[in-house]
């Protein structure tokens, strides 16, 4: 996905912060605050997209997959699994550390956009005059739909 293209922007017209699921994590909010403080950005857009991989997995599943194996999982019949590997592929054993991380998975696009807008708005370092807009990008049609 090219945010410049679907938003009708030219290079340099926006400071784009991307992460898995487009979520308003502490690090993403940190970047937004820096963008405002040092670049003067006043309009912030939270954009999630249809067919997002973060809607296909849960926090528990990610933790279990990582505990079993750190290598790439595959989607089989709508379920993420660790394929059987030959012992030379996996360079490290799995780790339970993945169970302690908030992966910010979600199932409802509109709800996740609204939640992220609220999280950003309520952050103590976000000025009240910042404009925060929410959208869902349809990857099939290219349509950007406002979320209110």
94 and 119 together in one domain: no
5 and 46 together in one domain: yes
- Residue 81's domain comprises 58-102
pLDDT in tens, 120-136: 999 999 999 999 999 99
87 and 43 together in one domain: no
How many Cα atoms within 13 Å fall on the side-chain side of residue 80?
19
Best CA proximity match to 28, nearest among 104, 135, 110, 131: 104
Interatomic CA distance for residues 23 and 48, integer angstroms: 8
42 and 70 together in one domain: no
pTM of the complete model: 0.85
Mean pLDDT of 60-79: 93
75 and 146 together in one domain: no
97 and 113 together in one domain: no
| Paired residues of 147 in beta bridges | 134
133 and 95 together in one domain: no
66 and 131 together in one domain: no
Question: According to DSSP H, which parts of 3-147 are helical?
Answer: 3-6, 26-39, 59-68, 109-122
pLDDT in tens, 70-120: 999 999 998 899 988 777 666 678 999 999 999 999 999 999 999 999 999
Domain tally, the chain: 2
- Positive or negative, the CA dihedral 22, 26, 29, 34 is negative
Q: What is the CATH number of the domain that holds 129?
A: 3.40.1050.10
- Crossing angle (nearest 10°) for helices 109-122 and 26-39: 50
């Amino acid at each position: 996905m090219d945010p410049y293209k679907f938003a009708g922007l030219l290079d340099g017209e926006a400071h784009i912060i991307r992460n898995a699921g487009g979520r308003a994590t502490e690090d993403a909010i940190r970047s937004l605050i820096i963008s405002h403080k040092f670049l003067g950005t006043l309009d912030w857009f939270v954009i999630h997209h249809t067919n997002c991989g973060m809607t296909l997995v849960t926090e528990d599943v990610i933790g279990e997959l990582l505990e079993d194996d750190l290598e790439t999982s595959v989607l089989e019949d709508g379920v993420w699994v660790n394929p059987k590997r030959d012992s030379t592929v996996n360079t490290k054993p799995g780790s339970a550390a993945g169970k302690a991380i908030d992966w910010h998975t979600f199932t409802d696009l509109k709800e996740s956009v609204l939640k992220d807008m609220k999280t950003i708005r309520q952050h103590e370092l976000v000025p009240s005059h910042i404009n925060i807009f929410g959208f869902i990008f349809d990857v099939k049609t290219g349509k950007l739909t406002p979320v209110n």
